[in-house]
A and B are shown apart, each in its own frame.
Chain A
Amino acid sequence: MRYKIVDKKDLCPGNYLIEIEAPNIAQRFEPGQFVIVRINEKGERIPLTVADFDTQKGTITLIFQVVGKSTMQLGTLNVGDAVLDCVGPLGKPSEIKKFGRVICIGGGTGIACIYPLIRALADAGNEVISIIGARTASLLILEDEITVLISRTSVATDDGSKGHHGFVTDVLTNLLDEYRNSGGIDRVIAIGPPVMMKAVADITRSLHIKTIVSLNSVMLDGTGMCGSCRVFIDGEMKLACIDGPEFDAHKVNFEDLVSRLEMFKEKESEAMNHYSSNAGVRK
C-alpha cells in the first residue's frame, strides 16, 4: 500500500508540512501519538509526530525538519507522490483531561508536536498558555494556528528577532512567577530539543509542577521489538515507542537520551553525502 501526499507546504527554511492519505490512522489518532514512515524500498523507518488530522478527508499532517538523509528526501516529494509505508498511530496517547492551567512549550519542530496537545487540552476545558520558541523568527512555525486556539501565546527567539530575546525557559520562569499568587500552574508540557526539555524540567522540579516531555529517541520498529529507543526513567529501562513517547520530565535521564541520539551520527552524515552526490548525478 502506498500513502499519497495530497498537500505540501514549505513552512520555513528546512521545515515542511505534508498531508498524507491514511484514513485508518486519521480515524484512530489521538494527540501525542506518532507514525513511522518509510519512503521507499531502500528507506529507513523514521518516526514523525502527527501534527494534525482530518477524519473527513482521511488524512494526517506531518511537519518535519530536514536534519538528515531521510527527512531531506521526504522534503523532495510533492503532491501526487507517495510514501511506501506509514504505520501508526504508535505510542501511548497523551493524558488529556481538565488539569486547570497548563503551560505548553514547543521548541523548533517541537511546536508541531505540541500543537495537537494545545488544541486537545483547550477543548478539555483547560486554560492553556503556550510558549513557542525558535532560533530565529523565520523558523517559527504554526504561530497563527496556535494563537487563534488559546488566549495567551508567548514567543521567544534565540536572536531576538521576534518576541523575547532568549530561550523559552526565560519566558517560563517569568510566567511561573506571574501566576504564583493567582492559582499557580497545574501542569507543564514541553516538546523540543532534549536540552530545552531538560532545562524546563530543571525549572519545574523544585516547584513540584508535574511536567511531561515527549522523547525522540532513535527508533526502528516502533513496536517494542528492538530496544533501540530505550530510555531511562528513574533508573529503569523503558521503551519510548510503546511506554512513551511521553514521560514524567523529572524522572528522565536526559544525558543518556542526548548521548544515545548520537549513536549513528557518523553513519548519518555518510548517508547524507551518498544521497547528495547521487541526487546531483541524477539531475
Chain B
Amino acid sequence: MIQIGGTRIAMEEQPVQQRIKNFCSVPLGYTEEEVIAEAQRCIQCIHGPCEKMCPVHMDIKAMIREIVARNFKEAFLIAKKDNAIPAIAGRVCPQEEQCEGVCPFFNTDNGINIGKLEAFIADWAMENGVKEEFHIEERPEQVAIIGSGPAGISCAVDLRKYGYKVTMFEALHKAGGVLQYGIPAFRLPKDIVDYEVSYLTEIGVEVKLNHIVGQNIMFNELRKKFDAIFVGTGAGAPQFLGIEGERLKGLYSANEFLFRTNLMKAYEFPEYDTPIVCGAAIGVIGAGNVAMDVARCALRLGAKNVYMLYRRTKKESPARIEELQHALEEGLRFMELVNPSRVLGNEDGWVTGIELLRMKLGEPDKSGRPRPIKIEGSEFTMKLDTVVEALGNKPNRLFLDQTPELETTRWGTLEVDKNLMTNVEGVAAGGDAIRGNATVILALGDGRKAAQSIHNYILRRRK
C-alpha cells in the first residue's frame, strides 16, 4: 500500500546508555523495508523544492522513485551524479536548512528523511560493490589538488573523469580533511571515509600524504610542474579567545581535542599511543557542530559533567538539530547566555574552573541572530577540570604565508571569482579555504565547480 505523507519512519539508534561508552555510529540505519516505506511518503512535489535547496541540486525525486521501486543501484547512481560522497553528505548535511527544510511535511517534524535515504543507498552500494562506471579518456595535462577534504575529493574525482592526471597533496598522514580528523566516528564511521579515499586511488588519483604545501613542497614548484591547481586547504587553524588562562594545562582548542580523539584514536588509549586528558567536569565554549562533537566525545571519554557554554540561547545554536538532540539525550548540560572572561587555574598550572559573564540578547546582528550583550558585574565562576574552545577556525597561515601572490579577503580566506578562479592564472580554490567555516556539501559543490572551471581553462589555453 502506498503511504503518502504520514509520520516519519523512525530510525533505530544505539540506546543512550550503551552509545556513550563507544564511538560506533549512533543511528543504526534503515532496513530495506523501512527505507522503502520512508521513500513512499514522498509526494513528488512538482517543483521539487528539496532539489532546489540542495546545494548540489541532487535529483532527489528521481532517487526516491528508484528507492520505492527497490532499484537501489539506480538510486545510488542518480545520487552519485551530483554528489561524489552521498554516504557522507547523507550523514552530515544540515538537512533541516536545506533539502528537508522545505519539504511540505517538515513543519510537523515529518519531512522526508532525505539524508538517511541517501546514506542508505550509498551504504548499500558500498556493501554490494556497486560503483559508478565511466570511461576515462586520458588527457596529457596534470592538475594538482592541495588538501584532501570534501572540496579536494570532489574536484579530484571530476578532473579524473575529464581525463586529467591528478595528484593530491595532503599535509596529514591520512586523507579526508575534517571528515577524517574532525567529525567523530559515531557520526561518520571512518570506514566510509576510508572507502571514499581509496576510491580516489582506484580511479587513478595519486594521493601524496605528508606533503605540506608551503612547508615541504612549495607552491611555486607545483605551479611549474602542473597545468592547473585547486586549493582546498580548508580552514584548519584554531582560534583562541585571548583571555587569561589559556596557557593552562587542561585547556584545548577544539581542533586539538578532536584531532587527538578522532584521528589519533585517543579513545583507544593506551592501545593507541596518543593520550588525551579529559577531566570529570568539562566546559565547551561555543555551540556549533564543532562544539557538539567535542561535547559528545568528552561524554564518551568518561567526563561526568559536560557543559556547553554559549553566549546566546539554544535556539540560536548553529549546530544541526540532530546533533543538539543527540547531545542532550547523552547528558549535555547546555548553559545559555554566558560568556567566558577568564580561565582559572591552580599553582601547578592546571585548569580549575572558569569565570563567566551573564549575557542578554539584543537586536539582531549581521548574521540575523540577536546580538549577545554583556551584563556588567554579573561575573560568576564554576569549577571545571577541562576547557575546550570551539570558536571556529581560520584558514591555515602556513599555506597563505608562502603564497603572497594569492589575493585574500580580510577574513584570510582566498579571493575567487564566480568560477572559483583565484587571481593567479590556472589556480582555483573552494571549500572552507574560500568560505571560512562552511559545510561539507558546499565544499563538495565548490570542488565540482572548480573542476569545471579548470577544465575550461585548460581547453582555452590549449587553443
Residue of A nearest to B255 (CB): A226
B144 CB → nearest A CB, Å: 16
| Chain B residues touching A, range | 35 or more
Residue in A28, A44, A85, A242 whose beta carbon sits within 8 Å of that of B264 in the complex = A44
Check if B249 sits within 8 Å of A44, measured CB to CB.
no
B172 adjacent to chain A (CB < 8 Å): yes
Residue of B nearest to A262 (CB): B249
Q: B residues 155-192 with Cβ under 8 Å of A?
A: 171-173
Known interface pairs A225-B236, A227-B253, A230-B247. Does A25 touch B216 (Cβ–Cβ under 8 Å)?
yes
Residue of A nearest to B236 (CB): A225
Residue in B212, B217, B249 whose beta carbon sits within 8 Å of that of A263 in the complex = B249
| Chain A residues touching B, range | 35 or more
* Stretch of B25-33, B92-100, B272-280 that contacts chain A: B272-280
Known interface pairs A90-B216, A226-B256, A242-B398. Does A264 touch B277 (Cβ–Cβ under 8 Å)?
yes
Q: Whole-angstrom distance between the alpha carbons of A232 and B13 in the complex?
A: 45
A4 adjacent to chain B (CB < 8 Å): no
Check if A274 sits within 8 Å of B270, measured CB to CB.
yes
The residue among B238, B271, B275 with the most chain A CB atoms within 10 A of its own CB is: B275
In the complex, number of A-B residue pairs with CB atoms less than 8 Å apart:
120
A126 adjacent to chain B (CB < 8 Å): no
| A271 contacts across to B, CB distance below 8 A | 269-270, 273, 275
Check if A85 sits within 8 Å of B271, measured CB to CB.
no
| B212 contacts across to A, CB distance below 8 A | 87, 90, 223
A24 adjacent to chain B (CB < 8 Å): yes
Determine chain A's interface SS by DSSP, over half rule. Answer: mixed
Check if A88 sits within 8 Å of B273, measured CB to CB.
no
Q: Whole-angstrom distance between the alpha carbons of A87 and B212 in the complex?
A: 9
Q: Whole-angstrom distance between the alpha carbons of A270 and B276 in the complex?
A: 12
| B348 contacts across to A, CB distance below 8 A | 259
| B238 contacts across to A, CB distance below 8 A | 225-227
Residue of A nearest to B208 (CB): A1
Known interface pairs A230-B247, A267-B269, A271-B269. Does A223 touch B396 (Cβ–Cβ under 8 Å)?
yes
A45 adjacent to chain B (CB < 8 Å): yes
A186 adjacent to chain B (CB < 8 Å): no
A62 CB → nearest B CB, Å: 16
Check if A220 sits within 8 Å of B275, measured CB to CB.
no
Check if B274 sits within 8 Å of A44, measured CB to CB.
yes
Q: Whole-angstrom distance between the alpha carbons of A29 and B269 in the complex?
A: 33
Q: Whole-angstrom distance between the alpha carbons of A268 and B253 in the complex?
A: 21
Closest 4 pairs between A and B when the two form their complex, measured CB to CB: A267-B275, A259-B349, A274-B270, A87-B210
In addition to A43-B273, A220-B259, 20 A-B residue pairs with Cβ atoms within 8 Å of each other are A1-B209, A24-B217, A42-B271, A44-B273, A44-B275, A45-B264, A87-B173, A90-B212, A223-B171, A223-B212, A223-B398, A225-B237, A226-B256, A227-B238, A230-B247, A237-B240, A262-B349, A263-B250, A270-B269, A274-B270
